[in-house]
Amino acid sequence: MLQIRNDLITLGKLLQAAGEYRFGHLNTVQQQYAQELEPLIELAWNENHWFTENNTRFAFLAYAQMLKELENRTDLPLEEKNETLAVVPPAIAPLDGLKDIIIALLSGYKVQVKQMLNKEKLIPGVIESLYKINPEIKNYLSFQENQISAFDRIIVTIPADKTTQWEKYFSQYPGKIRHSSYGAGIITGKETLNQLEAIGNDIFRYFGKTPENIYKLYLPKKFPVEMLNEPFEPFELEMKYHTPYFNNFEYNKSIYLINNNKNTDNGYVIFKEDPALESRIAVIHTERYNDQKELKQLINRDKDNLTHIVSVQEQDDITTVEPGNAVKPSFSDPDSIDTFNKINS
């Protein structure tokens, strides 16, 4: 499987071409493979209306960028292992779980992937392109619609409603076990309009459903939340005209009105004063701070359940992500590094 690095770089080029709908720079065979990815975008939408064309193309381009990183990663792949690693992807967003499959392949394992959605075609379709690039990969990577079995290691994200059951079963295997966590963001009041718009992307991309999205904002005491309306405007139409998302917005707004919860909204997202990290779809929790000392205390209180902090300022003792990068996979992000370490220890 020494060829796998080059195969994945080629896959990245196909994803880039399909994501941009621009194929002319590829050779004839690559053009064919990339064009075969295009129908997957519509298929994904037909099967799951949270997987919009905009979000799926964004995922294609984000993974293309990640795979391009391999051009400079001569330390990969690792030595081939005589073990099978099972991947149980969360299937929350387009291509969710592909990063884990890639890391497992580059770590030298045979990989068994549990299909969480029986009709899900997106990741299998992308992997089918990888098979076409190198048919030998079929000997190292397979999908299981039923229960996974006969594996040695695991990469799994445990849903909040299955914590006890899944923890009991998967904890007997070495590997990477993720628990429910949430992204949060810090507003300092000194961000540029572009930086605030990038924070908006980290809130609204994939409709805010992944653990990497921002669920809560730490705001300066006197920061008017209305100042976010202008930088968040590029996301307004997509949120308003996406029926499942907007139904959540209207439902939550009515519930908060009945319960007399303190909140404000801009017509497509609700800002609710609440210290909890987990927020509903179309809701962002906010918590105020007076100074850096108080901000640090709030983050220290929450950090065990934080995926990361999105901020223009580096924060101590917590993974800090630049605005706009929260939902973009990378081999250098802390989760990828931790996954590599845990499945190879």
pLDDT in tens, 230-286: 999 999 999 999 999 999 999 999 999 999 988 999 999 999 999 999 999 999 999
Statement to judge: residues 16 and 130 lie in one domain:
yes
Statement to judge: residues 108 and 168 lie in one domain:
yes
DSSP H stretches of helix in 51-192: 53-68, 98-106, 122-133, 163-170
pLDDT in tens, 174-189: 999 998 899 999 999 9
Neighbours of 28 (CB within 10 A): 6
Statement to judge: residues 119 and 12 lie in one domain:
yes
Say if 339 falls within a structural domain.
no
Say if 94 falls within a structural domain.
yes
Lateral strand order in the sheet of 320-321: 263-265, 270-273, 283-289, 214-220, 182-186, 306-310, 320-321
Question: Where is 184: in which H helix or E strand?
Answer: strand 182-186
User: How much of the chain, in percent, has pLDDT values that exceed 90?
Assistant: 84
Statement to judge: residues 142 and 229 lie in one domain:
no
Lateral strand order in the sheet of 175-178: 141-144, 110-114, 84-88, 153-157, 175-178
Give the position of tokens 């108080």: 294
Distance CA 281, CA 279 (A): 7
pLDDT exceeds cutoff 70 at 117 = no
Statement to judge: residues 225 and 193 lie in one domain:
yes
Least confident among 27-31, 119-123, 134-138, 297-301: 119-123
Statement to judge: residues 298 and 281 lie in one domain:
yes
Give how far the C-alpha of residue 28 lies from the chain's centroid of Cα atoms, to the nearest Å: 32
Residue 283: give its domain's CATH number: 3.40.309.10
Alpha-carbon distances of 139 from 52, 84, 131, 200, rounded to whole Å: 32, 11, 10, 42
Residues 6+ apart with CB under 8 A from 227: 196
Statement to judge: residues 170 and 189 lie in one domain:
no
pTM exceeds 0.85 for this model: yes
The pLDDT score that the predictor gives to residue 147 is 81
Least confident among 48-52, 88-92, 335-339: 88-92
Please spell the DSSP secondary structure of 158-179, one letter per residue.
--GGGHHHHHHHHTTS-EEEE-
What is the band of 296 on the pLDDT scale with cuts at 50, 70, 90? very high
pLDDT exceeds cutoff 90 at 121 = no
The pLDDT score that the predictor gives to residue 71 is 96
Distance CA 313, CA 321 (A): 9
Residue 95: give its domain's CATH number: 3.40.605.10
Give the position of tokens 């009945």: 258
What is the band of 301 on the pLDDT scale with cuts at 50, 70, 90? very high
Give me the domain span that covers residue 19.
4-180
The pLDDT score that the predictor gives to residue 123 is 94
- Cβ distance 63 to 95 under 8 Å? yes
The mean predicted confidence, pLDDT, of the chain is 94
Distance CA 119, CA 129 (A): 18
